[in-house]
Amino acid sequence: MESDLRSIGELARDSGLGVSALRFYDGAGVLTPAWVDPQTGYRWYAPGQLADARLICRLRRVGLPLAGIRAVLGAAPGSGAARQVVDAHLRRLEDGLADARRELSLIRRLIDQRENPVTATPVEHRFTVPAHELAAALDAVRFAVGGDPEVPMLSGVLFDLDGGLLRLVATDRYRMALAELPVTSGLPGASEPPVASGSAAPSGSVGAGAPAGSSVAAIVPTALVDGVRALLGSGAEHAELALGAGRFRAGTGGHLIEGATLDHDYPDYRSLVRLDPVHRVGLPATELRGAVESGATRSLPSGPHGAACEVTVLALDGDGRLSVAADGAEPAPGDVRVAVNRDFLLDALRAGGPEQLVLEITGPIAPLAIRTAGRDGTYSILMPIRVPEPV
């Protein structure tokens, strides 16, 4: 038998994988030897396993996680599943490179300010957004703002301007909400004289904005966010915003409000929202809200400060039907379950509005994403809660 097999050393040499890596992938159930000598425990591999070993070697070089490697090797031939895994990983790498370029651009600015503290001049970016879309975006993220004084950088909404797109982000570490809206106009502008927070001013006092390709981010404190939202009920078509130099201003409907932004670094939310869901389920928001409000719950330790909270377990059966699992019910074969804080789930459903929702479910230990159909850039993410296994 051994004459037709490769030893682990030979396979390591021919594939580019080390012996220790081959032992690891054996233990992980990814590349199991064709035969193991019962006396010595020495591993032997079939000739056809060389191709798999070489594929694993290359997947390792591009940083594909173990779960992805397992999915590629386990994909049915001709199904296209292996290519989907690789394509998703490539998108993550490209997103990571874009994030790195953005961060390095900001780092260069910080270095310039550090090396030229006298000549460095703060830049204010001014731009215009549709007032109704800004109101909808604030409504979509406000519920997720943190209130823990131990993490002050989360006690506000991140306004992240990236060229022609404004993204709003809020999180309290247990959930995250994001919303996107277009920047409709922007021209370079100098800073305006200070205006007292909450005071009125003629419409147009805030200039018409940032040049195309501008990039700036700042955390707007909760009280200022709520003040901006109150202004947006005036029925004006546009809101004029100014961001940068440690200040934030919003003008609409003949009124202007401004205040200082928070001097903190916001968490890197982009790395947290790169989800590769296994299942996407569409259903009306009112239907899911009713099921959650009337469905069974369990009290489990989670949420802020580890306090107990009511947990809803969502169950997706093999036919793609979503339901709230009954307390203590055993999952059927093929069921996918994810447990989340019930109150957080209801908050996210209310923020999403009455429209059709799309739930993205990966598994019991992966975040649950809740999207409003047709608004891909506006969604919520809820962290899962581990449900203890029955004894």
Q: What is the CATH number of domain 275-382?
A: 3.10.150.10
What pLDDT sits at residue 194? Answer: 35
Task: Indicate the pairing of strand 165-171 with strand 356-361.
Answer: unpaired
CA distance 67 to 89: 12
Q: Where are the domains of the chain?
A: 2-74, 122-260, 275-382
Q: What is the CATH number of domain 2-74?
A: 1.10.1660.10
Structure tokens at 80: 């296209």
Show pLDDT as tens, one digit a residue, over the chain (391 residues). Answer: 456 899 999 999 999 999 999 999 999 889 999 999 888 889 999 999 999 999 999 999 999 989 889 999 988 888 888 999 999 899 888 888 887 887 787 787 778 767 766 544 567 889 999 999 999 999 999 999 998 888 999 999 999 998 789 999 999 989 999 999 999 876 433 334 333 333 333 333 333 344 445 678 899 999 999 999 999 987 789 999 999 889 999 999 889 999 999 999 888 888 777 777 778 888 888 999 999 999 999 888 765 556 788 999 999 888 888 999 887 777 777 788 899 999 999 999 988 777 788 898 888 888 899 988 778 788 999 999 887 765 3
| 122-260: CATH class | alpha beta
CA distance 333 to 306: 32
What pLDDT sits at residue 235? Answer: 78
Let me know if the fold of 2-74 is the same as that of 275-382.
no
